Amino acid sequence: MAKRSSTFVLSAMCFGYAFLYIPIFLLIAYSFNDSKLATVWGGFSTRWYVELFQNEQIMAAAWLSLKIAFLTATFAVILGTMAGIAIIRYGRFKGRMLFTGMITAPMVMPEVITGLSLLLLFVSMESLLGWPAERGTTTIIIAHVTFAMAYVTVVVQSRLASIDQSIEEAAMDLGCRPLRILYDITLPMILPAIISGWLLAFTLSLDDLVIATFVTGPGASTLPMVIFSKIKLGISPDINALATIVIFLVFTGVLASSWINRKTSN
Amino acid sequence: MGIPEKQDHFRTANKSRISTLVRNILPAKKADEIGKKTILAVPYLWLSVFFLVPFFIIFQISFTEAIIARPPYTSLVEIEEGLIQIRLVTESYLMLFEDDIYWKSYLNSAWIAATSTLICFLIGYPMAYGIARAPAHTRRRLLLFIILPFWTAFILRVYAWVGILNNNGILNNILQWLGLTDTPIQFLYTDFAIYIGIVYTYLPFMILPIYTTLEKMDLSLMEASSDLGGRPVTTFMRITLPLSVPGIIAGSMLVFIPALGEFVIPALLGGDDSLMIGRVLFDEFFLNRDWPMASTVAVAMLIFLVAPIVLFNHFQSKEMEAK
């Protein structure tokens, strides 16, 4: 490769990574700023962290969001793994086109459409079946599972496609029952994909603002909804503190898991 | 010990034993079949009820009229004197063309989404290229740092830009310190801020698919080209770029489609007059409480997006089959 093009690529990469990370670093830096004005440096302070943990509204919303994300991830992993197995191992079946379409479409569907359509479904179900009588945590979980399971399916699917199917075939030839094969061979082999699918679904659920805003009812405000209404009013330094905590948790989590991955693969 | 015992066992086996064996196996087969069907049926049913049916409901409600009631729309099917009557109201669709706010925001959203996609491509392609051609151990680390921001809360990353683009934000402070401007420049609450927000949020979605195609590429093709005297630019334009088209298309769709319907970024970074269709739909629903109009806007958006979504699905399934 010519030297000129590699300097171009190198500078593009420097610019790109700086673009991605400078806002994050600024967010962290200003969370320790004593001044209420975001741009004036008033000295090092941890007062916004204290204020954050004293803010009952944020704490309640964070707890609700974590609960929703946990249940969403668990259900999404179950449904997504089933869907992934069906797509990869079942060959051609009736309605396969529709099925794979329903798996990939939620990933690219604009959130406002997913949110509106699910809300209208819940409203229609309420008038026809009497359920769900009121919207809130349950309806948010159903909505989140629906779009998160698509991501789990894709992760599980690509892992399933890459593992050696002959082990499953050997077990089948030796008279092993399909359910046993599933529990003793297939699931342990795709476990890494199931774990990353769970984490992905957890993050997606924790991140979602638009869909939750549509399908929620009175009393159930998730963390992104509370943050959104606070940001709408302008800069609030306790959100910086919250962001720093989130960034710290995510970075340690992701870096640790990639480190473990490398150790185990070596 | 075990073998004679087993032989003994077989010798005593009679017809009735065999038949019970067969009887035990058959239901087992049937159970396996049911198990196999369940694995497919459960997610199928879930997606049909919570993904497919809602679209029919949106479509249906888009043909009703807004009223003050619970739920706030008229019903499509009415029973009058024992006759089932279907009342289609096309008022919302007429509004879509008559009130210029709708088509203006469609065009504006499409323009903003397309431009942002192009900017993502221009920044993302060289980055993906650089990562794909880096040594294996650095490649892993570089890739990790592309994915990392994706795991941190989206709304907090958008919020970071509020602090930067503010009138007394960091960017304006730097510009004033450099003496480039005396009065703060309005960055926040403009279309410029929307572009920044979209590119910042969706850049990783452009980089990853392009990286995947570049990484799979057979490097000997490029060597052959340069051996035959092709200049690096020629090699890039005639081999690398055409071969990475599937990645470019997948990445572009992953940026364009969500950007078109984006609500959070225009709501937080854009001005009150910034027209984006996702925001119009949101306001139509939450501020005007006009559910039929919101549904109509959604249907029109879906029609607009059918082609990109089908294109994405096509490449996605091709990718899956290639694996």
Angle between helices A56-89 and A47-54 (to 10 degrees): 80
CB–CB contact B320 A161 (8 Å): yes
Contact assignment for A111 to B261 by CB distance below 8 Å: yes
* Chain B: residue whose CA lies nearest to A23: B160
Whole-number Å distance between alpha carbons of A177 and A180: 5
pLDDT band at residue B238 under the 50/70/90 scheme: confident
**Which residue is associated with the tokens 């964070």?**
A62
Residue in B with minimal Cα distance to A161: B323
Which of A5, A23, A99 shows the shortest C-beta gap to B44? A99
Query: B51, A102: Cβ pair inside 8 Å?
Result: yes
**Inter-chain CB pairs, A–B, below 8 Å:** 256
Radius of gyration of chain A (CA): 23
Q: Does the pLDDT value for residue B243 go beyond 90? A: no
Cβ of residue A102 closer than 8 Å to a chain B Cβ: yes
Preferred mutation among A6, A11, A20, A246 to probe B, highest tally of B CBs within 10 A: A20
Taking Cα atoms as reference points, which of B185, B262, B166 lies closest to residue A234? Answer: B166
Which residue's structure tokens are 């640790």? A256
- Beta-bridge partners for A44: A33
d(CA B319, CA B229): 33
Render pLDDT for A25-41 as a digit per residue (tens, 0 to 9). 998 988 888 877 656 67
Going from the N-terminus, what domains does chain A have, and what CATH number goes with each?
A: 29-257 (1.10.3720.10)
DSSP sequence for A78-130: HHHHHHHHHHHHS-S-TTHHHHHHHHHHHHHS-HHHHHHHHHHHHHHHHHHH-
Q: What is the mean pLDDT of residues A62-77?
A: 96
Instruction: Provide the pLDDT for residue A24.
Output: 93
How many Å lie between the alpha carbon of A205 and the closest alpha carbon of chain B? 10
Question: Across all residues in chain A, what is the average pLDDT?
Answer: 88
- Mutation to test the A interface, candidates B148, B175, B227, B297, most A Cβ within 10 Å: B148
Residues of chain A contacting residue B308, judged by C-beta atoms under 8 Å apart: 108
pLDDT digit string, tens, across residues B44-53: 999 999 999 9
B53–A5 C-beta distance less than 8 A:
no
Token representation of residue B231 = 């200049």
Q: Give the separation between CA B202 and CA B206, rounded to whole angstroms.
A: 7
pLDDT confidence tier of residue B11, bands split at 50, 70 and 90: very low
The CATH number corresponding to B91-322 among 1.10.3720.10, 1.10.10.410, 3.20.20.540, 3.30.70.100 equals 1.10.3720.10
The stretches of B13-90 forming alpha helices (DSSP H) are: 15-47, 53-61
Q: Please state the rounded mean pLDDT for residues A152-179.
A: 86
Confidence (pLDDT) at A238: 87
Distance of CA A23 to the CA centre of its chain: 21
Neighbours of A167 (CB within 10 A): 13
> Are B320 and A157 inside 8 Å of each other by CB?
yes
Q: What is the mean pLDDT of residues A154-173?
A: 86
Q: Per-residue pLDDT for B61 more than 80?
A: yes
- Chain B residues whose CB is inside 8 A of the A100 CB are 313, 317
DSSP 8-state symbol, B185: P
Pairwise CB contact (< 8 Å): A117 & B48: no
SS3 content of chain B, % helix, strand, coil (to 5): 75, 5, 20
In sequence order, what are the beta bridge partners of B78?
Answer: B85
A105 touching chain B per CB within 8 A: yes
Task: Give the residue-averaged pLDDT of A241-256.
Answer: 89
pLDDT of residue B1: 42
For residue B79, the cross-strand partners are: B84
Instruction: Please tell me which residue of chain A has the smallest CA distance to B261.
Output: A110
pLDDT 10s digits, B192-213? 999 999 999 999 999 999 999 9
Contacts of A120 in chain B (CB under 8 A): 54, 57-58, 61, 291, 295
Find the residue in B nearest to A109 (Cα).
Answer: B258
Phi first, then psi, for residue B67 (nearest 5°) are -135, 165
Confidence band of A3 (pLDDT split at 50, 70, 90): very low
Q: Which of A36-40, A94-98, A242-246, B178-182 has the lowest mean pLDDT?
A: A36-40
What residues of chain B lie within 8 A of the CB of A240, using their CB? 163
Domains in chain B: boundaries: 2-61, 91-322
| Closest residue, chain A, to B172 (C-alpha) | A39
What's the pLDDT tens digit per position in A83-133?
Answer: 999 988 887 888 888 898 888 888 888 899 999 999 999 998 988 888 887
Q: Is A28 in CB contact (< 8 Å) with chain B? A: no
Nearest to A161 among B160, B257, B323 (CB): B323
Average pLDDT over residues A53-74: 94
pLDDT of residue A36: 73
Determine the pLDDT at residue A180: 83
Q: Are A73 and A201 in contact (CB under 8 A)?
A: yes
Residues in chain B within 8 Å Cβ distance of A27: 156, 159-160, 163
Mean pLDDT of chain B: 84
At residue B123, the pLDDT reads 95
**Comparing C-alpha atoms, which of B55, B41, B49 is closest to residue B309?**
B55
Q: Are A242 and A227 in contact (CB under 8 A)?
A: yes
- Torsions phi, psi for B85 (to 5 deg): -115, 135
